[in-house]
């Protein structure tokens, strides 16, 4: 691959950990192509599309997502975000901004993991029948934990809702309050400049908003952040938006294939970006 070639983003044919990456690539007008790997249907959940090439791509730590940019081959979703952001000065300018970026990058991932851990909870797994467990692809626990999560969740979503959703929702306001206080009166989480952690934070807050649509109602600045981001970044473009039916759980929505959105914004992406650039000086 020559240095002038488009970047290649590899990931499953779902939203998952690539959502913020796709948003950032589009916002920065980065030339890229996607390699989407498809997981087969039940009961085998064939992952050969990925496993057949996993150790042939010269990746230091073979995993999804990956980004290839000439001789640079990167795994780990946040490392990919940082790599793209550095090219566009979106990691913070001042020391204070850089500190806030570093804090948010890690804090929001901890927050994301709380939802993921629910699906690994021993109470959750105990709901599965012996027959279901016998079909479980344990290999993916160590090699593709995200697929493990989606598989478990799809089997016992109703029981998950009944037993664990109240527990999660009970602690959710306290978590969101911390993010609200950290954001304060700033426009973005690093301050007054848009950085890559805003893409990451939007993704995670959006997942929680799908989980509980009213979860941000007590936090006007977080709701304003979401609206500001959606105006600044064309989140309705067909590269990221899913057809999500009302009431669909965020875990289920994350596992859906990407599809074109039925109603795109009338304003083009570049026009939207230019207008925001003028407004915020980014």
| 3 state DSSP class of 69 | strand
Residue 17 has pLDDT above 70, yes or no: yes
Say which residue, 127 or 225, is predicted with more confidence: 225
- Overall residue count recorded for the chain in this entry: 282
The tokens for 259 are: 């599809």
Give the pLDDT confidence score for residue 123 in this predicted structure. 54
How many whole angstroms separate alpha carbon 233 and alpha carbon 90? 14
* Section 86-96 average pLDDT: 98
Dihedral angle of Cα 51, 52, 53, 58, to the nearest 10 degrees = 80
Res 124: pLDDT: 45
Closest CA to 10 of 24, 1, 21, 23: 21
CA count, 13 A, side-chain hemisphere, 135: 13
Q: Which of 210, 178, 183, 181 is nearest to 195 (CA)?
A: 183
Q: How far apart are CA 26 and CA 101, in angstroms?
A: 21
Q: Do residues 116 and 149 make contact, with C-beta atoms less than 8 angstroms apart?
A: yes
The partner residues of 67 in beta bridges, in order of sequence, read 9, 74
Q: What is the dihedral of CA 238, 241, 242, 244, to 10 degrees?
A: -130
C-alpha Rg value of the chain to the nearest Å: 19
pLDDT in tens, 158-213: 555 557 778 888 999 999 999 999 999 999 999 999 999 999 999 999 989 988 89
Q: Determine contact, residues 253/243, Cβ cutoff 8 Å.
A: no
Which domains, from first to last, does the chain contain? 7-280 (1.20.1050.130)
Distance CA 229, CA 195 (A): 11
Per DSSP (E only), the strands in 56-178 are 66-69, 72-75
Token reading at 136: 């479980």
Average pLDDT score over residue span 258-279: 33
């Amino acid at each position: 691959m020559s240095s002038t070639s488009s970047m290649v983003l590899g990931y499953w044919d779902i939203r998952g950990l690539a959502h913020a990456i796709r948003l950032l690539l589009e916002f920065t007008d980065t030339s890229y192509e996607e390699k989407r790997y498809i997981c087969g249907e039940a009961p085998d959940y064939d992952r050969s599309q990925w496993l057949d090439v996993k150790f042939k791509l010269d990746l230091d730590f073979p995993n999804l997502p990956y980004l290839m940019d000439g001789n640079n081959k990167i795994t780990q979703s946040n490392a990919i975000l940082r790599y793209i952001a550095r090219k566009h000065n979106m990691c913070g300018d001042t020391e204070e901004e850089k500190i806030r970026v570093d804090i948010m990058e890690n804090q929001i991932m901890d927050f994301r993991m709380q939802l993921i851990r629910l699906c690994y909870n021993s109470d959750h797994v105990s709901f599965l029948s012996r027959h279901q467990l016998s079909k479980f692809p344990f290999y993916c626990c160590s090699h593709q934990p995200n697929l493990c999560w989606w598989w478990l969740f799809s089997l016992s979503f109703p029981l998950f809702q009944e037993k664990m959703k109240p527990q999660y929702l009970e602690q959710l306001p306290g978590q969101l309050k911390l993010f609200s206080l950290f954001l304060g009166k700033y426009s973005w989480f690093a301050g007054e400049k848009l950085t890559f952690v805003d893409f990451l934070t939007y993704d995670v807050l959006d997942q929680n908003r799908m989980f509980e649509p009213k979860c941000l109602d007590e936090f006007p600045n977080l709701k304003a952040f979401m609206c500001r981001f959606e105006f600044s970044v064309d989140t309705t473009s067909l590269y990221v938006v899913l057809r999500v039916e009302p009431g669909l759980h965020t875990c289920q929505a994350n596992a859906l294939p990407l599809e074109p959105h039925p109603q795109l914004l009338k304003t083009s992406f570049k026009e939207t970006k230019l207008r925001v650039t003028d407004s915020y000086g980014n």
